[in-house]
């Protein structure tokens, strides 16, 4: 019988098995929404490239610009009011109210509005300054 405890155990075992693939292929694999009943469960999985190439950077820059940012915000960090230090890990364009996803060091994910992210990062001027510094330092 499928229940939340069993789903968590199964997904933890799958994550352990996928760790080697993540290291070998330089990717990040994460599970998405899950639906279940007593007979089976269904879960989405997202595979994200960790490569830093011009093509990958252009995709992230395009997503950021579609939200109104002037630079790529994926990978930037800020300190939230209640969640501590957060790294921006994803942009969900279909989520109109909370399109920016951030993850804390302990793995918890939080959703943010565009205005919250701009406020936490210091506005477009600071975002541009930080992005240009990263380019000069070769990060």
What are the tens digits of pLDDT across the range 65-121?
888 888 888 888 888 778 889 999 889 989 889 999 998 888 788 999 999 988 888
Same domain flag for 60 and 26? no
46-59 tens-digit pLDDT: 888 777 777 777 88
Mean of pLDDT values over 2-27: 90
Q: What is the pLDDT of residue 139?
A: 59
Q: Is 17 within 8 Å of 11 (Cβ atoms)? A: no
Same domain flag for 26 and 73? no
- Residues spanned by the domain of 20: 4-49
Number of domains in the chain: 2
When the pLDDT of each residue in the chain is averaged and rounded to a whole number, the result is 84
Counting Cβ atoms within 10 Å, is residue 7 exposed (0-12), middle (13-18) or buried (19+)?
middle
Report DSSP state, residue 128. H
67-77 tens-digit pLDDT: 888 888 888 88
Tokens of 33: 């929404």
CB within 8 Å of 34: residues ≥ 6 apart: 7, 41, 42, 43, 44
Same domain flag for 126 and 95? yes
CB within 8 Å of 43: residues ≥ 6 apart: 7, 11, 31, 32, 33, 34, 35
């Amino acid at each position: 019988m499928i229940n939340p405890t069993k789903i968590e155990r199964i997904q933890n075992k799958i994550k352990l098995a996928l760790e080697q693939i993540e290291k070998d292929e330089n990717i990040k694999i994460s599970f998405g929404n899950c639906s279940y009943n007593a007979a089976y469960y269904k879960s989405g999985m997202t595979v994200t490239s960790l490569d830093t190439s011009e093509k990958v950077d252009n995709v992230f820059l395009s997503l950021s610009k579609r939200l109104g940012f002037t630079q790529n915000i994926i990978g930037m960090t800020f300190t939230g009011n209640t969640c501590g230090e957060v790294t921006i890990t994803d942009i969900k364009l279909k989520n109109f109210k909370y399109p920016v996803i951030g993850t804390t060091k302990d793995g918890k994910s939080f959703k943010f509005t565009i205005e919250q992210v701009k406020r936490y990062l210091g506005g477009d001027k600071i975002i541009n300054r930080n992005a240009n510094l990263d380019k000069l330092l070769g990060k």
